[in-house]
Amino acid sequence: MPLNRATSAEINLDAFRYNLRIIKSLVGLNTETMAIIKADAYGHGAVQCARAAIEEGTKYLGVGIIQEGIELRESGITSPILILGGVYPDELTELIYYNLSTSLSTLALAKAISKEAEQSKKNISVHIKIDTGMGRLGVQCEDFSDLLEHVIGYENITIEGFFTHLANADDVDPKISQEQIVKFSNILKVIKTKKFSKLHNSNKPILIHSANSAGLLRYPESRFNLVRPGISLYGSFPSPVLKPVLDMIKNNNYPALRPVMSWKTKIIQVQTLRKGVPLSYGGSYITKKNKSRIAILPVGYADGLNRRLSNKMEFLVKGMRVKQIGTICMDMCLIDVTELPSVEMGEEVVILGSQGKDNIPIEELADKAETIPYEIFCGISKRVPRVYV
């Protein structure tokens, strides 16, 4: 992995901490936070973000796959970590060894867990996941009671929590989310009938959770006693529907959320070309002026600059917007700096973030690439070193 490179992503951990504090103050003291740092903290660096979250008093961490949990343990993080996406039976040895908790939604996995726990004479912690309408992982509501009975029967399985996931929390129409929350609340009533509270380690509350960023921002009733913010910690929001909510929680002169990542590069060459010259693969752009000044940037789709952004996006140079032109290549792309005659090799160029008075937000890049901020963040590849400030 390159340590030093002109193309890099600057990660502002103060902004990350700020966002976390906003979320915590919004949900109040009776609701815990599980910082979601899957996919290398949405490309921001899982270990660094985990440490910052822990320093801010966050007790719980959530990741997508067991390998991400192992990475955190190997770096010395001891907080409870939930594997949101669940595990395979052949990963249970590692789950125990690294003291991780898994999401559980099938009897087959419950059996495998109990067997593995028995062999190693250890307990395994789980959060039972209920599918209330996401149509993805989780036990169906009608099968929940049966699964719960079995899991309670396995003394070496510790139930740490129950959770579900909202499918439409960022929709304008609240109907589906509200229905999911009602279904989940009904499931919680089943839990109470099981005299289940006797069966768990009573000095820790059972964690009940359903809210991702959109859920916790829009539906206080989805927060229960734990929320699972991801994208909001990185200063973005799931969809424009959230914008008014965020404007409402603005703090004096501060925005509700601060962007954490800025992505920068430096010009590697400037060409002066006559009018009519086709640029880059396929010549999708032809210079429009004599003495066109075209700057070459060492950033391309191998770095996560989506090729669909070709001829659509803008960059910041000297605080001014300039157009990206021609097809984005694997390692390079081009910008038109004809209007900026003083720009030479080595000049800083901002892909994402602010420079001078202007700013390119992640939402702008996502819109132009016809995707969501999540995918842009996750797509910024390992080749782009993360620099922490």
Ligand X SMILES: *Cc1c(COP(=O)(O)O)cnc(C)c1O
Q: Which residues are catalytic?
A: 38, 281
Residue 58, token pair as written in the block: 């966050």
- In whole angstroms, the minimum distance from the beta carbon of 201 to ligand X comes to 23
Of the candidates 209, 227, 234, the one whose C-alpha atom is nearest the C-alpha of residue 41 is 234
Contact 275, 289 (CB under 8 A): yes
Secondary structure (3-state) at 59: coil
Query: Which residues, 6 or more positions from 196, have their beta carbon under 8 angstroms from its beta carbon?
Result: 148, 152, 159, 206
- In whole angstroms, the minimum distance from the beta carbon of 94 to ligand X comes to 20
Q: How far is CA 315 from CA 145, 175, 225, 296, in A?
A: 54, 39, 42, 12
Characterize the bridge pairing of strands 358-360 and 348-355.
antiparallel
Distance CA 30, CA 262 (A): 34
Nearer to ligand X, 164 or 310 (CB): 164
Residue 65, token pair as written in the block: 């796959």
State which H helix or E strand residue 83 sits in: strand 81-83
Nearer to ligand X, 229 or 326 (CB): 229
Distance CA 98, CA 70 (A): 6
Nearer to ligand X, 59 or 115 (CB): 59
Distance CA 228, CA 57 (A): 15
Q: What is the DSSP letter of 251?
A: B
Secondary structure (3-state) at 383: coil
- In whole angstroms, the minimum distance from the beta carbon of 292 to ligand X comes to 42
Determine what percent of the chain falls in helix, strand and coil, rounding each to the nearest 5: 35, 25, 40
Residue 374, token pair as written in the block: 């999540």
- In whole angstroms, the minimum distance from the beta carbon of 146 to ligand X comes to 23
- In whole angstroms, the minimum distance from the beta carbon of 183 to ligand X comes to 16
Characterize the bridge pairing of strands 157-163 and 124-131.
parallel
Secondary structure (3-state) at 309: helix
The one-letter amino acid code at 67 reads: Q
- In whole angstroms, the minimum distance from the beta carbon of 36 to ligand X comes to 4
Closest residue to ligand X, judged by C-beta, is 230
Chain positions contacting ligand X, by CB under 6 A: 36, 38, 84, 165, 212-214, 228-232, 238
Nearer to ligand X, 62 or 326 (CB): 62
Nearer to ligand X, 215 or 326 (CB): 215
Nearer to ligand X, 230 or 235 (CB): 230
Nearer to ligand X, 334 or 376 (CB): 376
- In whole angstroms, the minimum distance from the beta carbon of 168 to ligand X comes to 12
The one-letter amino acid code at 338 reads: T
Secondary structure (3-state) at 214: helix
Contact 127, 162 (CB under 8 A): yes
Secondary structure (3-state) at 359: strand
- In whole angstroms, the minimum distance from the beta carbon of 207 to ligand X comes to 13
As beta bridge partners, residue 360 has 353
